[in-house]
Chains A and B, each alone.
Chain A
């Protein structure tokens, strides 16, 4: 069972470069999320998509854009990468109901020099 698949697993960028992180889920989930994880900060929500066709900002959206391409896929784009965006990025999905947990991908480790 694939679950939530993130690509790539690792990436190094130079400041100012752009990049898209891909996320796909095969569980027919309605809601999808992008988080970043930094030491001592826990998981912080960047953007989320409650359902296909909708996206909303989370706690830390600046410098990012997202696309909910279809029900399966939710991509995160860095238009002009900055060193402050060095982090581990996690994608998650959920059916969306109050009693439904989130399922996480394995993460993308992104370093920006």
Chain B
């Protein structure tokens, strides 16, 4: 069974701070890695889909990088705002399957 690990489990930062989280995964048979943002009482929403080693994606103040050879992805938030408070999930898809394995998420709380 593949194991996708996210760290830290939870994080409190002050408004304006920059922060980053890690998603670690087995590097063999890599096909795609997704990042999702999940606000309380809502459903997960896709942030990034990453498929190539060295990929860097950006959406506003949020960006992500991917290293498939060593099996990790970083999510960065620059100048955190209270509205960034959410759980951030990563999900791995391996080659030859349509299944996704999710990490347990990083819960971010941005304090005003």
Q: Is the CB of A106 within 8 A of B89?
A: no
Which chain B positions have C-beta within 8 A of A104? Answer: 43-45
Q: Is the CB of A102 within 8 A of B102?
A: no
Give the nearest-CB partner of A35 in chain B. Answer: B102
- A16 interfacial contact with B, CB 8 Å: no
Give complex CA distance A98, B105 in Å: 21
Interface residues of B, dominant DSSP: strand
Give the nearest-CB partner of B6 in chain A. Answer: A42
- B99 interfacial contact with A, CB 8 Å: yes
Give complex CA distance A32, B105 in Å: 22
Interface size for B (C-beta < 8 A) is: 23
Which chain B positions have C-beta within 8 A of A31? Answer: 98
Give the nearest-CB partner of A100 in chain B. Answer: B49
Give the nearest-CB partner of B32 in chain A. Answer: A98
Q: Is the CB of A99 within 8 A of B49?
A: yes
* Residues 19-62 of chain B, each 1 if its beta carbon lies under 8 Å from chain A, else 0: 00000000000011010100000111110010100000000000
Give complex CA distance A48, B99 in Å: 7
Beyond A99-B51, A102-B46, A106-B43, whether A58 also contacts B99 by CB under 8 A is yes
- A101 interfacial contact with B, CB 8 Å: yes
Which chain A positions have C-beta within 8 A of B36? Answer: 101-102
**Given A35-B102, A98-B93, A101-B49, 9 further pairs, Cβ under 8 A:** A41-B104, A44-B102, A45-B102, A48-B98, A48-B99, A100-B49, A102-B36, A103-B46, A104-B44
